[in-house]
């Protein structure tokens, strides 16, 4: 329809995903070395340096401007009570944009701005959290004034490599997925995709070795080793030798404030639902590829979760730690390369 072609994307009204829950409890994970803390714009570097001359600068490892970390891997502005000193002394608007937004995001669609959340954050994945309300998060996803800023704009949906549909056609399809994800059905059955699809010019075993070799002393490197180790175990049945627990102290704090344990199914279902809702995949990939990619990371996460439970972790915490790892790795260039190699029609 000609009218639909002209339809623009918009950021208002702000639309949270029904059932998505989050508030910042200050578990402190996002202010530590998930990988690096940034990137920052040049203007933000200057602002941070005005507060502390050595707080930010060019980082060769990340090839970008980043906040500097202290010896414990935490941001130089992180106080011993895990509050941000910039926030405490100058207010939230004084923080770099990424700090203000995380773990929230915004995708502009023809019907409004979808509020999205990352799940590499125990405040998002564990405990008794309130439902996300636009009025509570609007300032985080807006610029200095009151203008919500979109991370991406999605008008049409690539269902497969050969089929693209209008956003209005996508909405009922997605609603059914989201509804099923809230239930008890097997998540792999809902995704209806084979994990570990064939890779162009590589093998899963080769990827596993590359991931294990990417350890760089950061917590990200430990998560990479977990994922690589698990891929190797799932592919070849070899016994995994999982490395230490990255970010365990932040999850200790999350567990201490969450007396009621949830199930791993709830944690995983909530994560997959937000991955679908975010429409990140629609920028470069099809829904068919996204389902195979999510099925792969889910399979890895479930295996990690089983091992963490075997070492005594509570079900919701084990799942939250597993999601943390597969999401951190999923956001990396390493995983983008894997996705680019996936052969899914
Ligand atoms: S500036 Fe504040 S919010 Fe940002 S990483 Fe540092 S402590 Fe955390």
Same domain, 86 and 211: no
CA 77 – ligand 1 centroid, Å: 6
Q: Are residues 194 and 305 in the same domain?
A: yes
Domain count, the chain: 2
Nearest-angstrom CA–CA distance, 191 and 210: 27
Q: Are residues 88 and 186 in the same domain?
A: no
* pLDDT for residue 198: 97
Q: Is residue 331 part of a domain?
A: yes
Name every protein residue with a CB atom under 6 angstroms from any ligand 1 atom.
31, 37, 67, 75, 77-78, 84, 86-87, 95, 99
Same domain flag for 73 and 202: no
The string of DSSP codes covering 136-199 is HHTTTTB-SSS-B--SEE--EEE-SSS-EEEHHHHHHHHHHHHHHHTSSS-HHHHHTS-SS--B
Same domain, 282 and 162: yes
Q: Please tell me the predicted confidence (pLDDT) of residue 1.
A: 40
- How many beta carbons lie within 10 A of that of residue 3, not counting itself? 6
What is the C-alpha to C-alpha distance for residues 86 and 294, in angstroms, rounded to an integer? Answer: 36
State the closest ligand 1 atom to the C-alpha of 83, by its place in the atom list counted from 1. Answer: 7
Residue 129 lies inside a defined structural domain of this protein:
no
- On whether residue 27 sits in a domain, the answer given is no
**Do both 174 and 271 map to the same domain?**
yes
In a domain, 9, yes or no: no
Please check whether residue 137 lies inside any domain of the structure.
Answer: no
- Is residue 135 assigned to a domain? no
**94 DSSP assignment:** G
Residue 68 domain boundaries: 39-95
Same domain, 73 and 162: no
Is 12 domain-assigned?
no
- The answer to whether 323 and 301 are in contact (CB under 8 A) is yes
Which of 87, 89, 91, 93 has most ligand 1 atoms within 8 Å of its beta carbon, as the pocket-test mutant? Answer: 87
pLDDT per residue rounded down to tens, the chain (345 residues): 444 455 799 999 999 999 999 999 989 898 987 777 889 999 999 999 999 999 999 999 889 999 998 888 889 999 988 889 998 899 888 999 999 999 999 999 999 999 999 999 999 999 999 999 999 999 899 987 679 999 999 999 999 999 999 999 999 999 999 999 999 999 999 999 999 999 999 999 999 999 999 888 788 899 999 999 999 999 988 777 767 898 998 999 999 999 999 999 999 999 999 999 999 999 999 999 999 999 999 999 999 999 999 999 999 999 999 999 999 999 999 999 999 999 997
Could you tell me whether strands 164-166 and 156-158 are parallel, antiparallel, or unpaired per DSSP bridges?
A: antiparallel
Q: What angle do CA 300, 281, 131 make, to 5 degrees?
A: 80
């Amino acid at each position: 329809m000609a009218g639909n072609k002209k339809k623009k994307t918009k950021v208002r009204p702000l639309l949270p995903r029904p059932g998505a829950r989050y508030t910042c409890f200050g578990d402190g994970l996002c202010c530590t070395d998930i990988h690096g803390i940034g990137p920052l714009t040049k203007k933000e570097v200057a602002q941070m340096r005005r507060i502390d001359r050595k707080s930010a600068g060019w980082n060769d490892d990340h090839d970008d401007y980043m906040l500097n970390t202290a010896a414990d891997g935490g941001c130089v502005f992180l106080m011993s009570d895990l509050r941000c000193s910039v926030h405490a002394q100058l207010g939230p608007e004084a923080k770099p944009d990424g700090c203000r937004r995380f773990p929230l995001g915004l995708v502009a669609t023809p019907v409004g701005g979808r509020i999205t959340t990352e799940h590499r954050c125990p405040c998002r994945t564990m405990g008794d959290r309130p439902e996300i309300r636009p009025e509570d998060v609007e300032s985080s996803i807006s610029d200095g004034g009151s203008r919500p800023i979109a991370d991406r704009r999605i008008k049409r949906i690539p269902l497969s490599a050969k089929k693209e549909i209008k956003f209005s056609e996508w909405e009922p399809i997605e609603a059914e997925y989201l509804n099923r994800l809230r239930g008890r059905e097997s998540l792999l059955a809902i995704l209806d995709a084979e994990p570990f699809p064939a890779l162009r010019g590589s093998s899963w075993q080769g990827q596993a070795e590359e991931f294990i070799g990417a350890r760089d002393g950061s917590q990200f490197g430990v998560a990479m080793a977990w994922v690589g180790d698990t891929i190797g175990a799932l592919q070849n049945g070899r016994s995994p030798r999982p490395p230490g627990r990255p970010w365990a102290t932040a999850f200790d704090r999350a567990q201490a404030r969450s007396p009621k344990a949830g199930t791993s199914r709830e944690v995983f279902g909530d994560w997959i639902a937000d991955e679908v809702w975010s429409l990140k995949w629609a920028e470069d990939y099809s829904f068919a590829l996204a389902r195979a990619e999510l099925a792969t990371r889910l399979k890895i996460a479930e295996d990690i979760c089983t091992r963490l439970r075997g070492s005594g972790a509570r079900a919701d915490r084990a799942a939250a730690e597993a999601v943390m790892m597969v999401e951190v790795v999923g956001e990396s260039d390493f995983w983008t390369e894997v996705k680019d190699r996936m052969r899914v029609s």
